[in-house]
Amino acid sequence: MPHVHATPHSAPPGPPGGEVYRLALPNTASAAKLSRDFPSSLLTVSRHRGLVDDARLCVTEVVTNAHRHTRTSLIRVLVTVQRKQVTVSVADDDHWALPEPPVFRALSEREGGRGLLLVERVALAWGMTVLGGGFPYRKAVWFTLARAGSADDSTVRPGAGED
């Protein structure tokens, strides 16, 4: 499986010891709002209440990219809630539309393309990966958030992502 990534971690942390939640929604204009509300609800009832705003921002950006730049019929959101961190993975069926890693320049230089820059600045780690070996296969863009003071390199480790 080829991997494209922006952080040193090529795959999202695996779900051991965590709770995994899945949401599949049609690729419509309301996908970003629905996907934003999904991890917000999960984090509000978990011990990660302080990550709600960051999760809302990041999932909105990633789902909006999938909606605007792919022809996928379904957008799949996978949220893994672990003791010290939360990982959100957004998968679509358009493997040819791998997002470009962000170019770090002044945000005022471009009208678009800021979403992954925001994810880069907010997330502990993030990346992109192609899932599955046959055709059609999916790609996923994922990000990991951690509570302040609980994140170190040992909490984010490459592992199994979405199946």
For residue 14, the domain's CATH number is 3.30.565.10
- List the domain range (segments joined by +) for residue 19: 3-146
pLDDT at 111: 54
Residue 161 has pLDDT above 50, yes or no: no
Predicted confidence at residue 35, as pLDDT, reads 93
Task: Assess contact for 90 and 63: CB atoms under 8 A.
Answer: yes
Residue 16 lies in a domain: yes
Whether 158 maps to a domain, the answer reads no
Query: What are the Cα distances from residue 41, in Å, to 4, 113, 127, 148, 162?
Result: 30, 27, 24, 20, 21
38 domain-assigned? yes
> Is 151 a member of any domain?
no
**Total domains, the chain:** 1
160 domain-assigned: no
Whether residue 162 is contained in a domain is answered as no
Mean pLDDT of 41-65: 92
- pLDDT higher at 159 or 43: 43
3-class secondary structure, 138? strand
- pLDDT tens column, 8-30: 444 555 556 789 999 999 999 99
